[in-house]
């Protein structure tokens, strides 16, 4: 992400518009910034009294924490699918998406591994694998 323009430049553009009576477009071309930037700075100055940039970046805390985390950990002791958990959380009033639930499960080290006996398509150890197409004897 790019860095915000300096406060000095912002103040000069805002001063040109408010004190000198220039339009935002004229002030933007004079100082070499985009007209949309000048418009936003002047609007922010009129609303808040400062053209300072708002806070950038930072880490947001997870919505899957606290009581929701405890419920999820208990719920994940039984069989689950991520999409099913998203639907259950939506029923509880927690708006999350598939990726958030996947990241939570991954961070907690939770996963569902299929049991070896459930591999029905694999040949058993006792007999050889059958061919993909069985030969049918034709009329001789």
Q: How many residues make up the chain in this entry?
A: 140
What is the structure's pLDDT at 119? 57
What is the structure's pLDDT at 136? 64
> Quick one: average pLDDT of 6-17?
95
Domain boundaries, the chain: 7-48, 67-113
CA nearest to 108, candidates 71, 69, 78, 63 = 69
- Spatial separation of the C-alpha atoms in residues 95 and 87, rounded to whole Å: 9
Whether pTM exceeds 0.75: no
């Amino acid at each position: 992400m790019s860095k915000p323009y300096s406060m000095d430049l912002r103040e000069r553009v805002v001063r040109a518009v408010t004190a000198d009576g220039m339009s935002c477009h004229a002030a933007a071309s004079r100082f070499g910034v985009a007209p949309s930037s000048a418009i936003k700075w002047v609007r922010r100055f009129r609303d808040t009294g400062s053209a300072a940039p708002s806070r950038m970046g930072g880490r947001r805390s997870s919505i899957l924490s606290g009581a929701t985390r405890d419920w999820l950990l208990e719920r994940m002791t039984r069989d689950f699918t991520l999409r099913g958990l998203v639907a259950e959380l939506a029923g509880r009033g927690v708006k999350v998406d598939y990726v958030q639930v996947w990241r939570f499960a991954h961070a907690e080290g939770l996963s569902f591994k299929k049991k070896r006996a459930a591999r029905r398509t694999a040949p058993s150890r006792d007999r050889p694998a059958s061919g993909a197409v069985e030969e049918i004897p034709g009329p001789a």
